[in-house]
Protein backbone atom coordinates (compact mmCIF):
# COMPACT_ATOMS: atom_id res chain seq x y z
CA UNK A 1 0.00 0.00 0.00
CA UNK A 2 1.34 3.42 -0.93
CA UNK A 3 1.48 6.11 -3.58
CA UNK A 4 3.25 5.32 -6.84
CA UNK A 5 4.61 7.13 -9.85
CA UNK A 6 3.44 4.99 -12.79
CA UNK A 7 4.82 5.54 -16.28
CA UNK A 8 4.89 4.10 -19.80
CA UNK A 9 7.65 4.74 -22.33
CA UNK A 10 7.32 4.27 -26.10
CA UNK A 11 9.49 4.69 -29.18
CA UNK A 12 8.56 3.89 -32.81
CA UNK A 13 9.30 0.38 -34.00
CA UNK A 14 11.50 1.88 -36.72
CA UNK A 15 13.97 3.02 -34.05
CA UNK A 16 17.11 0.90 -34.24
CA UNK A 17 18.52 -0.91 -31.23
CA UNK A 18 21.60 1.31 -31.45
CA UNK A 19 19.41 4.44 -31.34
CA UNK A 20 17.50 3.11 -28.33
CA UNK A 21 20.77 2.38 -26.56
CA UNK A 22 22.12 5.86 -27.33
CA UNK A 23 18.96 7.44 -25.95
CA UNK A 24 19.13 5.36 -22.77
CA UNK A 25 22.76 6.37 -22.31
CA UNK A 26 21.71 10.04 -22.45
CA UNK A 27 18.94 9.53 -19.90
CA UNK A 28 21.31 7.56 -17.67
CA UNK A 29 23.90 10.36 -17.84
CA UNK A 30 21.17 12.85 -16.92
CA UNK A 31 20.16 10.67 -13.97
CA UNK A 32 23.76 10.69 -12.80
CA UNK A 33 23.56 14.46 -12.40
CA UNK A 34 20.54 14.22 -10.09
CA UNK A 35 20.86 13.72 -6.32
CA UNK A 36 19.98 10.03 -6.49
CA UNK A 37 21.53 7.44 -4.22
CA UNK A 38 22.72 5.27 -7.11
CA UNK A 39 22.34 4.70 -10.85
CA UNK A 40 23.09 1.25 -12.28
CA UNK A 41 25.12 0.37 -15.33
CA UNK A 42 23.27 0.14 -18.63
CA UNK A 43 22.16 -3.44 -19.31
CA UNK A 44 22.51 -4.50 -22.95
CA UNK A 45 21.49 -8.17 -23.27
CA UNK A 46 22.62 -10.72 -25.79
CA UNK A 47 19.72 -12.56 -27.47
CA UNK A 48 18.63 -15.40 -25.22
CA UNK A 49 20.97 -14.31 -22.44
CA UNK A 50 19.88 -14.42 -18.82
CA UNK A 51 22.62 -12.33 -17.26
CA UNK A 52 22.24 -12.72 -13.48
CA UNK A 53 23.64 -9.21 -12.96
CA UNK A 54 20.53 -7.81 -14.64
CA UNK A 55 18.10 -10.32 -13.15
CA UNK A 56 15.77 -7.67 -11.75
CA UNK A 57 15.38 -5.91 -15.09
CA UNK A 58 14.97 -9.21 -16.93
CA UNK A 59 12.32 -10.30 -14.42
CA UNK A 60 10.35 -7.07 -14.91
CA UNK A 61 10.60 -7.57 -18.66
CA UNK A 62 9.27 -11.13 -18.35
CA UNK A 63 6.25 -9.81 -16.45
CA UNK A 64 5.53 -7.19 -19.10
CA UNK A 65 6.19 -9.82 -21.79
CA UNK A 66 2.80 -11.34 -21.18
CA UNK A 67 0.25 -10.52 -23.84
CA UNK A 68 -1.49 -7.19 -23.37
CA UNK A 69 -4.43 -5.87 -25.32
CA UNK A 70 -4.65 -2.30 -26.53
CA UNK A 71 -7.41 -1.01 -28.77
CA UNK A 72 -8.52 -4.57 -29.42
CA UNK A 73 -5.06 -5.72 -30.59
CA UNK A 74 -2.97 -8.27 -28.68
CA UNK A 75 0.59 -7.01 -28.29
CA UNK A 76 3.41 -9.37 -27.36
CA UNK A 77 6.67 -8.14 -25.87
CA UNK A 78 10.11 -9.72 -26.31
CA UNK A 79 11.84 -9.82 -22.93
CA UNK A 80 15.11 -10.93 -24.55
CA UNK A 81 15.36 -7.52 -26.21
CA UNK A 82 15.20 -5.52 -22.98
CA UNK A 83 17.87 -2.89 -22.39
CA UNK A 84 17.94 -0.24 -19.70
CA UNK A 85 19.09 0.72 -16.25
CA UNK A 86 17.79 1.28 -12.73
CA UNK A 87 17.96 4.18 -10.32
CA UNK A 88 17.76 4.17 -6.55
CA UNK A 89 16.38 7.65 -5.77
CA UNK A 90 17.02 7.44 -2.04
CA UNK A 91 16.10 5.82 1.26
CA UNK A 92 12.46 4.82 1.55
CA UNK A 93 11.87 5.01 -2.21
CA UNK A 94 11.57 1.97 -4.44
CA UNK A 95 13.94 1.31 -7.34
CA UNK A 96 12.81 2.74 -10.68
CA UNK A 97 13.68 1.02 -13.97
CA UNK A 98 14.10 2.91 -17.24
CA UNK A 99 14.17 0.51 -20.15
CA UNK A 100 12.76 -0.52 -23.50
CA UNK A 101 11.96 -3.81 -25.18
CA UNK A 102 10.42 -4.70 -28.51
CA UNK A 103 6.68 -5.24 -28.74
CA UNK A 104 4.34 -6.00 -31.65
CA UNK A 105 1.16 -7.81 -32.64
CA UNK A 106 1.47 -11.52 -33.44
CA UNK A 107 1.77 -10.83 -37.16
CA UNK A 108 4.38 -8.15 -36.67
CA UNK A 109 1.96 -5.25 -36.95
CA UNK A 110 2.23 -2.17 -34.72
CA UNK A 111 5.88 -2.67 -33.77
CA UNK A 112 7.27 -0.41 -31.06
CA UNK A 113 9.77 -0.18 -28.24
CA UNK A 114 7.87 -0.22 -24.97
CA UNK A 115 8.21 -0.15 -21.20
CA UNK A 116 5.91 0.38 -18.26
CA UNK A 117 6.55 0.23 -14.55
CA UNK A 118 5.88 2.01 -11.28
CA UNK A 119 7.90 3.33 -8.38
CA UNK A 120 6.52 3.77 -4.86
CA UNK A 121 7.90 7.05 -3.52
CA UNK A 122 5.62 7.52 -0.50
CA UNK A 123 7.95 6.15 2.15
CA UNK A 124 10.75 8.53 1.23
CA UNK A 125 8.65 10.78 3.48
CA UNK A 126 9.80 8.71 6.46
CA UNK A 127 13.13 10.53 6.07
CA UNK A 128 11.41 13.90 5.64
CA UNK A 129 9.41 16.07 3.26
CA UNK A 130 12.49 17.48 1.53
CA UNK A 131 13.78 13.97 0.87
CA UNK A 132 10.40 12.90 -0.53
CA UNK A 133 10.34 15.90 -2.86
CA UNK A 134 13.90 15.24 -4.05
CA UNK A 135 13.16 11.58 -4.84
CA UNK A 136 9.81 12.11 -6.52
CA UNK A 137 10.69 15.23 -8.52
CA UNK A 138 13.99 13.70 -9.57
CA UNK A 139 12.12 10.86 -11.28
CA UNK A 140 9.78 13.37 -12.91
CA UNK A 141 12.78 15.32 -14.23
CA UNK A 142 14.03 12.13 -15.87
CA UNK A 143 10.68 11.60 -17.56
CA UNK A 144 10.64 15.23 -18.71
CA UNK A 145 14.10 14.76 -20.20
CA UNK A 146 12.99 11.58 -21.96
CA UNK A 147 10.17 13.58 -23.58
CA UNK A 148 12.74 16.15 -24.78
CA UNK A 149 14.62 13.29 -26.44
CA UNK A 150 11.50 12.19 -28.33
CA UNK A 151 10.13 9.46 -26.08
CA UNK A 152 6.36 9.17 -25.81
CA UNK A 153 5.69 9.20 -22.08
CA UNK A 154 2.41 8.49 -20.29
CA UNK A 155 2.34 9.12 -16.54
CA UNK A 156 -0.16 8.38 -13.80
CA UNK A 157 1.08 10.07 -10.66
CA UNK A 158 -0.92 8.99 -7.62
CA UNK A 159 0.49 11.96 -5.70
CA UNK A 160 -0.61 14.33 -8.53
CA UNK A 161 2.75 16.07 -8.87
CA UNK A 162 3.11 15.24 -12.58
CA UNK A 163 0.08 17.25 -13.63
CA UNK A 164 0.30 20.03 -11.03
CA UNK A 165 4.07 20.48 -10.52
CA UNK A 166 3.10 21.56 -7.03
CA UNK A 167 5.46 20.32 -4.32
CA UNK A 168 3.00 21.20 -1.55
CA UNK A 169 0.32 19.11 -3.27
CA UNK A 170 2.79 16.21 -3.39
CA UNK A 171 3.56 16.55 0.32
CA UNK A 172 -0.14 16.85 1.20
CA UNK A 173 -1.14 13.76 -0.79
CA UNK A 174 1.62 11.72 0.84
CA UNK A 175 0.73 12.95 4.33
CA UNK A 176 -2.90 12.00 3.77
CA UNK A 177 -1.93 8.51 2.59
CA UNK A 178 0.52 8.14 5.48
CA UNK A 179 -2.37 8.75 7.87
CA UNK A 180 -4.48 6.11 6.13
CA UNK A 181 -1.66 3.56 6.12
CA UNK A 182 -0.71 4.31 9.74
CA UNK A 183 -4.28 3.78 10.93
CA UNK A 184 -4.55 0.53 8.97
CA UNK A 185 -1.15 -0.74 10.12
CA UNK A 186 -1.95 0.20 13.70
CA UNK A 187 -5.13 -1.87 13.60
CA UNK A 188 -3.22 -4.85 12.22
CA UNK A 189 -0.61 -4.44 14.94
CA UNK A 190 -3.33 -4.37 17.60
CA UNK A 191 -4.62 -7.65 16.20
CA UNK A 192 -1.14 -9.17 16.29
CA UNK A 193 -0.98 -9.56 12.51
CA UNK A 194 2.05 -7.28 12.27
CA UNK A 195 3.93 -8.95 15.08
CA UNK A 196 7.70 -9.22 14.87
CA UNK A 197 8.83 -11.76 12.28
CA UNK A 198 5.64 -11.52 10.23
CA UNK A 199 4.83 -8.53 8.00
CA UNK A 200 6.88 -5.36 7.68
CA UNK A 201 5.32 -1.93 7.39
CA UNK A 202 7.62 0.99 6.46
CA UNK A 203 5.15 3.42 8.00
CA UNK A 204 6.20 2.21 11.47
CA UNK A 205 9.58 3.85 10.84
CA UNK A 206 7.98 7.29 10.52
CA UNK A 207 9.02 9.46 13.47
CA UNK A 208 5.43 10.72 13.80
CA UNK A 209 3.76 7.32 13.45
CA UNK A 210 1.61 7.57 16.58
CA UNK A 211 0.32 10.99 15.59
CA UNK A 212 -0.39 9.76 12.07
CA UNK A 213 -2.21 6.72 13.45
CA UNK A 214 -4.54 8.95 15.45
CA UNK A 215 -5.32 10.97 12.30
- Residues in contact with 66: Cβ distance below 8 Å, sequence separation at least 6, in sequence order: 77
Which residues are paired to 6 by β-bridges?
118, 156
Helix/strand/coil (H/E/C) assignment for every residue in 131-162: HHHHHHHHHHHHHHHHHHCCCEEEEEECCCHH
Question: What is the model's pLDDT at position 202?
Answer: 57
3-state secondary structure of 188: helix
4-12/152-157 β-pairing:
antiparallel
Which residues are paired to 68 by β-bridges?
75
Question: What is the model's pLDDT at position 76?
Answer: 86
- Residues in contact with 11: Cβ distance below 8 Å, sequence separation at least 6, in sequence order: 20, 23, 100, 112, 113, 150, 151, 152
Contact 120, 4 (CB under 8 A): yes
pLDDT tens per residue, range 139-170: 999 999 999 999 999 999 999 999 999 999 99
Question: What is the model's pLDDT at position 196?
Answer: 41
**pTM metric for this prediction:** 0.82
pLDDT tens per residue, range 8-24: 999 999 999 999 999 99
Which residues are paired to 42 by β-bridges?
none
- Residues in contact with 26: Cβ distance below 8 Å, sequence separation at least 6, in sequence order: 145, 149
- Residues in contact with 9: Cβ distance below 8 Å, sequence separation at least 6, in sequence order: 98, 99, 100, 113, 114, 115, 116, 146, 151, 152, 153
- What is the distance between the alpha carbons of residues 113 and 109, in angstroms, rounded to a whole number? 13
Task: List the single range of 53-57, 73-77, 161-165 with lowest mean pLDDT.
Answer: 53-57
* Length of the chain as a residue count: 215
- What is the distance between the alpha carbons of residues 111 and 17, in angstroms, rounded to a whole number? 13
State the pLDDT confidence band at 39, using cuts at 50, 70 and 90.
very high
Question: What is the model's pLDDT at position 201?
Answer: 55
pLDDT tens per residue, range 90-136: 999 999 999 999 999 888 889 999 999 999 999 899 899 999 999 99
Amino acid sequence: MGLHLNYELRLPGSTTAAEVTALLEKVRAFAGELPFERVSDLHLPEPGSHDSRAGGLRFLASVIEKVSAEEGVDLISDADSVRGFAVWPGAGCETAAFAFMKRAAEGGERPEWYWHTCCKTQYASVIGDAHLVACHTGLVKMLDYAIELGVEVVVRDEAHYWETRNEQRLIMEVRNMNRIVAAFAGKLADLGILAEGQLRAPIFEHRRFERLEMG
